[in-house]
Structure formats: C-alpha cells, structure tokens
Amino acid sequence: MTGSIASEPITVLIVDDHEMVRIGLRSMLFAPDIVIVGEAADGAEAMDRIAALRPTVTLMDIRMRDMDGLEALERLNALPAQTHVLIITTYRNTAYLLRAMAAGAAGFVLKDISRDKLLATVRAIAAGESRVDQDFLRSVLDRLDDGPTFDRAEGGEPVEPLSPRERDVLQLLVEGMTNQAIAHALGLSSYTVKGYVQNILQKLHASDRTQAAVTAIRLGLIK
C-alpha cells in the first residue's frame, strides 16, 4: 500500500531582540508541520538570515536595536519576494499597522496571541493569506474620529465611491467576517457578497481583504 506524500514543512525565522521571547515563540510554534530554521536579534541580521535561509514565514518584532522590524520590512519589500513577514509586537499602534501593511507585511498580530491562533496565523500566511489581529482592528475603529478623510489609495490611485451596500459589506469585512457570515448578516447570497467584495477590492486598489481593511481605516470609510 502506498502512503500519502507529506507536504513540505513551513520554515520559520524568528526575529526579536529578546532571547526569552524567541525561546517562547519556538515553544509556541512546536508542531509537526513547522520547522524553526533560525533566529535573528535585529532587522539587519534578519535580512542576512532571510537571504541565506529563505524561510516561508518570518516572525518580525518592531522595536529592535540597529535596524527595527519596519525598516527591515520596507527594505525587503524592494527585493524579490523571499518570505512572508508576520509582524508580532506588543504595541497597539495604528501607525505601525498602516506602515507595516503598506510595506507588504502578510500579517500583524500582538504578542498576547494564543498558541492556537499563532499556529493558525502562520499556516494561513504560509498559504498566501493575510492576517491582522481583529481585536486591534476594532480598537483602531473605536478611536477613529470625524477628522478629515482622503480620497486616494496607498499608491496614489483615486478611490472610486462605494455604493451604500458596498459600504455595508466593507464594514463587516473589516470586522473580520467571512463572505458567508456577511451574507447571513445582510440577507444576501454568498455569491452576491463575493461580487461586492471583488468590487470593493477593485475600487480601493487593494490586492486582498486585509489591504482593503487597512485602506478603509486610513481613508475613514468605516463608521
């Protein structure tokens, strides 16, 4: 009898300037499908390790000596794709979130994340998805005021106006709901919601749902 062929493991690089944190993350990521291939203590060291090891996913802290995680991410963004970067930080800082996503981060989570959620996030990012801590996103929304908004996406392209129904869908999308959940909440079919999501991504010049959520927050499109 022929056994099934195992898929390639997810290789991970851990970047943090505190050894205790790196040890803790190693322990949390102990799983049959994940292999920790290396560690780094700052952004400059991380770039060297990424070039040498080509990890599937890089867990990147923000505040580190010499070169911080956001600067390293921005430098990596100018190079051919080598790794999916997951920002993991203690700081609930909106500017950090927007800067990270604009620089191409695949995800943004806080260090109080549970082991199960961290494993699920790493696996999703390795599969090409994006993940942002939903509680943090909601807190960002709660802090939004009625200040001035903008009418251009991150790359400078003009954003097309959204219809009232598209705004309803966008609101729920930012809250982390799936198409099926949005369909149930709004009394629509999943197929219809999928069409609305595609329209929203196109109008906001977003490549995925996470980028659309970040753009929506930055432009003040959410209630």
Tens-place pLDDT, residues 141-184? 555 444 434 444 455 556 778 899 999 999 888 777 778 889 99
Whether residue 135 is found in the same domain as residue 155: no
CA proximity to 86, closest of 135, 28, 132: 132
Whether residue 35 is found in the same domain as residue 136: yes
Domain that holds residue 108: 10-140
pLDDT in tens, 88-107: 999 887 778 877 877 788 89
Residue 181: per-residue pLDDT: 85
Judge whether 95 lies within some domain: yes
What is this structure's pTM?
0.65
Max alpha carbon distance in the chain (Å)? 66
Whether residue 175 is found in the same domain as residue 210: yes
| Alpha helices (H) along the chain | 19-28, 43-53, 69-77, 94-102, 115-126, 134-143, 164-174, 179-186, 190-203, 209-219
Residue 148: per-residue pLDDT: 38
Whether residue 27 is found in the same domain as residue 98: yes
Helix (H, G, I), strand (E, B) or coil at 181: helix
Q: How far apart are the first and last CA of the chain?
A: 58
Residue 5: per-residue pLDDT: 44
Beta carbons of 212 and 206 less than 8 angstroms apart: yes
Beta carbons of 70 and 140 less than 8 angstroms apart: no
Whether residue 135 is found in the same domain as residue 164: no
Whether residue 22 is found in the same domain as residue 114: yes
Judge whether 5 lies within some domain: no
Whether residue 118 is found in the same domain as residue 60: yes
Residue 98: per-residue pLDDT: 75
Our count of domains for the chain comes to 2
CA proximity to 77, closest of 154, 9, 184, 11: 154
Give the domain CATH number at 197. Answer: 1.10.10.10
Residue 81: per-residue pLDDT: 66
Residues with pLDDT less than 70, the chain: 1-6, 81, 137-158, 223
Residue 156: per-residue pLDDT: 52
Residue 140: per-residue pLDDT: 61
Residue 189: per-residue pLDDT: 92
Whether residue 45 is found in the same domain as residue 101: yes
Choose one of 122, 140, 158: the last residue of a domain: 140
Whether residue 31 is found in the same domain as residue 129: yes
Whether residue 27 is found in the same domain as residue 78: yes
